[in-house]
Amino acid sequence: MKLIPTILCGGAGSRLWPVSRELHPKPFIRLADGQSLLQKAWLRGAILPDVAEMLTVTNRELLFKTEDEYRAVSVISGNRTNHFILEPFGRNTAPAIAAAALHVAESYGEDACMLVLAADHLIADQPAFAHAVKQATQLALQGKLVTFGIKPDAPETGYGYIEADIDSHLTKTGGYPVLRFVEKPTLEKAEEYLASGRYLWNSGMFCFQAGSMLREMEQHCPSILEATRACIAQSRIAEGKGFSQLDLDAATFELVPDDSIDYAVMEKSSNVAVVPCCIGWSDIGSWTALGDLAAPDAQGNRIEGEVILHDVSNCYIQSKQRIVGAVGVKDLVIIDTPDAVLIADRSRAQDVKYLYSRLKADGHEAHRLHSTVHRPWGTYTVLESGTHFKIKRIEVKPGASLSLQMHHHRSEHWIVVSGMARVVNGEHELFVNTNESTYIPAGHKHRLENPGLLTLVMIEVQSGEYLGEDDIVRFEDIYGRTQK
């Protein structure tokens, strides 16, 4: 049997703003052990037996960041081949799974099993998870579409539910036919579901043979399947050592209907089974849920970072860079980041998404980017900005290079803080060492490269009438970002 863990890495994680942003979504949030939710999801699949490759469906703007995350933990599980399906924009889970199933069927045959995992869930019990996957693959090999149902321990109103036919065992290992999927219930209904013993939380994880899913899609959502197939036919494939990627064509992908796999297939199919499991699962859907991962002090406060408290109880406070002081408050969530601070009542943590939506509607950059922005070549951090100027701290990885580019409206001063830079400035190429600088006039073609073995750190001072990130024309780029 070939098993292909398939990680769906999308969404904005709006309820975890300000740490989660559009270009730094929830899967990239790091927990106390230093690993991100995305890294944990990758390891969760990579260490299973019979894995043929690790498949990730994500936004193309997150590719290099995702590769960095995987590279940092690949030594734990041994090197796995990574295949990426890159979306130009989100189209929900049904198109993502359609593209993944078409790839797996083409590469490994329709009998290959796919294990679909969310990139932003936490599973605390890996052995129990591996056992549940073994149960699910047994059912998948019988042609079933299998979902993982979490045994509820509370009348939770924030999750969808699955009603299982508990009187009909599909296997000796405990799989059941699914009678129906239920939307997030009222508290009264959730209590009823919990008491019945027939309902499970819908985890959003699935297992099935690629061919089984494609046949169900042909029956229940043929427009999604055919539009996705047409898109793949127009898309580019790139391959390298230990990786390959399918870059979905934007024009044809826009024609793919937007729908979730639950609505498009799972709720319509009569061929769905559920494996009940207790695996320490959480979808980390709010700051309250994330805060509950930290140990409380005697007053019920959960703290991450340097915090000073006086007469404070039942608060979750996170601050990675600055000291936070709190006096005489209770039941609050306080999240401090370099460019935004969140203060919320713990009981209203789900409503943080409304702040995110407001920022997005207003076009505020705080919904999309942090002050530190990741790029394929490294990072830049905006230190200060004002009328006609902006100051950045730039870090370039060893051997990395920015694109050969030009700006119409701004000039740039570069000062090397540590390391050495190779610079193209107009018709000239020069090396700039520590404590040296160079000036790039507006309209000059230029490129910055780190030829050394250590990280290049420099300060960039921009000046001009317009300093937006879209004032850039790329002529050459090793990361494929040049304009056509």
pLDDT digits (tens, 9 = 90+) for 29-77: 999 899 999 999 999 999 999 999 999 999 999 998 999 999 888 877 6
Peptide bond preceding 18 in cis form (omega within 30 of 0): yes
Low-confidence ranges of the chain (pLDDT < 50): 484
pTM to 2 decimals? 0.89
User: Please, are residues 260 and 94 in contact by the beta-carbon 8 Å criterion?
Assistant: yes
C-alpha angle 344/92/123, rounded to 5°? 60
pLDDT tens track for 64-114: 899 999 988 887 766 678 999 999 999 999 999 999 999 999 999 999 999
Same fold yes or no, 3-282 and 372-476:
no
What's residue 362's pLDDT? 95
Q: Closest Cα to residue 146, out of 126, 162, 168, 128?
A: 162
Chosen CATH of 3-282 out of 3.40.50.300, 2.60.40.1180, 3.30.70.100, 3.90.550.10: 3.90.550.10
DSSP state letters, 344-364: EEGGGGGGHHHHHHHHHHTT-
Q: Which fold has domain 372-476?
A: Jelly Rolls (2.60.120)
Q: What residue spans define the domains of the chain?
A: 3-282, 287-357, 372-476
